[in-house]
């Protein structure tokens, strides 16, 4: 917002820690609001209201085991079912599933029911017992279910937990379930854009995840970050790039005899835009446009100006996504 609704003059965006109550539970958030520079009156707009609310929702979902919107959408997409059909199968009101995907908060019982549908056998039982869909649709959905290996979700979770120490949604991963596929695609996006060295790629990932959290309240990839001497980096980033089979490392020898590894796309690797929301794509483009031509040393220097690094580097601590609200580069 550029103008005050009171005087038409300048406004300043402010943040402070504040406690909010939601469904009889209390949560502390980074509260966003504006101050009119002429009258000193405080106010919010739609954007700040949504950002404040999503912080409350994130903590409530974590506390009660309610899935996040990307998870709710992902569960439905896994079975190739429309949001309207999911509402019928689970006995929700018309268009209720679509509203949950858009961010509306489910009741605890509905949220846990949706989360349970991530299990193939549980969802199959819901489909078999639903009387509100015809036999043709039922048969089509059951065929889609049968195509999914029973070990699929377990294998992905095991890989995420073992390789990246990931556990559950929280502030250390931006309230986003880690998606190995999305991580690989973001790495591919930036590799195709500028063929960065590993040190620079670490910063590109950091800025993409933290900028999206700053704007929308959740990260893109679900990666955890820690602070080391060269700035914020994804936890176990070396393993991360070894697992990304759609890119390769190319060693570059510099005139002074030192060496570095660039990350470049493998032949015929194509970025899968279908995995990302419009807001995620817009943030990837913004980060890429601003930082693609920046040299590695310069982007390291840029990251050293961030409170996320300054306040955590000495002990190589994990970086809370709350630091996103204080980014200086964006």
Distance in angstroms (rounded) separating the CA atoms of residues 123 and 261: 45
Q: How many CB atoms lie within 10 A of CB 149?
A: 9
Q: Delimit the CATH 3.10.20 region(s) of the chain.
A: 11-64
From first to last of its 330 residues, the chain has per-residue pLDDT tens of 678 999 999 999 999 999 999 999 999 999 999 999 999 999 999 999 999 999 999 999 999 999 998 889 989 999 999 999 999 999 998 899 999 999 999 999 999 999 999 999 999 999 999 999 999 999 999 999 998 876 555 455 555 555 555 556 688 889 988 888 899 999 999 999 999 999 999 999 999 999 999 999 999 999 999 999 999 999 888 888 887 788 888 888 878 777 788 999 998 899 999 999 999 999 999 999 999 999 999 999 999 999 999 999 988 889 999 999 999 999
- Any idea what the Cα angle at residue 74 is, between residues 73 and 77, rounded to 5°? 90
Q: Which class in CATH covers the domain with range 11-64?
A: alpha beta
User: What are the respective helix, strand and coil percentages of the chain, to the nearest 5?
Assistant: 50, 15, 35
Distance in angstroms (rounded) separating the CA atoms of residues 233 and 240: 11
């Amino acid at each position: 917002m550029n103008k005050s609704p009171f005087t038409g003059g300048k406004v300043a965006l402010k943040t402070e820690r504040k406690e909010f109550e939601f469904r009889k539970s209390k949560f502390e958030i980074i509260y966003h609001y504006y101050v009119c520079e002429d009258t000193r009156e405080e106010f919010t707009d739609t954007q700040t209201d949504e950002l404040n609310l999503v912080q409350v929702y994130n903590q409530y979902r974590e506390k009660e085991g309610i899935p996040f919107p990307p998870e709710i959408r992902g569960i439905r997409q896994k079975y190739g079912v429309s949001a309207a059909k999911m509402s019928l199968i689970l006995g929700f009101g018309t268009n209720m599933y679509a509203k949950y995907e858009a961010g509306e908060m489910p009741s605890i019982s509905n949220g846990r029911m949706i989360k349970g549908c991530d299990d193939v056998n549980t969802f199959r039982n819901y489909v078999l017992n639903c009387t509100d869909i015809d036999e043709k649709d039922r048969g089509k959905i059951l065929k889609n279910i049968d195509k999914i290996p029973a070990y699929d979700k377990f294998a992905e979770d095991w890989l995420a937990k073992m390789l990246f120490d990931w556990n559950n949604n929280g502030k250390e991963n931006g309230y986003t379930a880690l998606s190995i596929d999305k991580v690989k695609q973001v790495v591919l996006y930036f590799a195709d854009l500028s063929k960065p060295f590993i040190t620079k790629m670490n910063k590109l990932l950091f800025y993409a995840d933290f900028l999206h959290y700053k704007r929308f309240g959740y990260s893109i990839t679900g990666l955890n970050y820690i602070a080391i001497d060269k700035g914020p980096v994804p936890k176990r980033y070396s393993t991360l790039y070894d697992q990304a089979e759609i890119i390769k490392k190319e060693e570059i020898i510099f005139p002074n005899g030192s060496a570095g590894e660039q990350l470049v796309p493998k032949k015929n690797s194509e970025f899968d835009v279908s995995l990302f929301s419009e807001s995620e794509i817009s943030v990837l483009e913004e980060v890429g446009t601003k930082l693609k031509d920046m040299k590695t040393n310069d982007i390291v220097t840029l990251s050293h100006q961030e409170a996320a690094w300054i306040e955590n580097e000495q002990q190589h601590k994990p970086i809370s996504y709350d630091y996103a609200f204080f980014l200086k580069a964006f």
